[in-house]
Structure formats: structure tokens, C-alpha cells
Amino acid sequence: MGKMYRVMAFWTGIFSIMFYLGDMYTTSLLFLGITVFFLAVGFLKLSERMYVYIFGAFLTVFFIGFTYWTTFMMPLGGGGH
């Protein structure tokens, strides 16, 4: 199960690089932080149940943050596109 966290770290690292190359520096730093988190957790040698609990907690925090951002921070009407 720890290997899957390292796989997620790899892909979030790729996303971080792509966001950086696309001049989206804030998003790149966010994904870099997620990459470090996944990489650190991937090497902890925890039980499978603990890995699932950590992933569930990560998803809960992500969904709360995403809902807050889309509800209160994003401009209405598509942001002028």
C-alpha cells in the first residue's frame, strides 16, 4: 500500500512540474507540498488500514478546501473569459 502513495507522489510531482511550466506558481507549490506528503507517508511502513484512514482524511480535507474555494473565492460568471 505504501507503493501506491509513492505512485501518487510521482503523479502529483508531474502535475507540480507542469503547473510550474505553465506559470501557475501557487498551484505548483500546493502540488509540491502534496507530493512531499505522499512521499513521506509512502515510506512509513504503516498497516493497510492506517493508509486507508490517512487517505480518507486527506480526501476530507481536500473536499472541504475545494468546496470553500469554489463557493467563496472563485468569481461568478466564469471570471471574465
- The x, y and z cell numbers of residue 3, run together, are 507503493
Per-residue pLDDT reduced to its tens digit, 18-76: 999 999 999 999 999 999 999 999 999 999 999 999 999 999 999 999 999 889 888 77
DSSP string, the chain: -HHHHHHHHHHHHHHHHHHHHTT-HHHHHHHHHHHHHHHHHHTS---HHHHHHHHHHHHHHHHHHHHHIIIIISPGGGG--
State the pTM of this model.
0.82
Per-residue pLDDT reduced to its tens digit, 22-33: 999 999 999 999
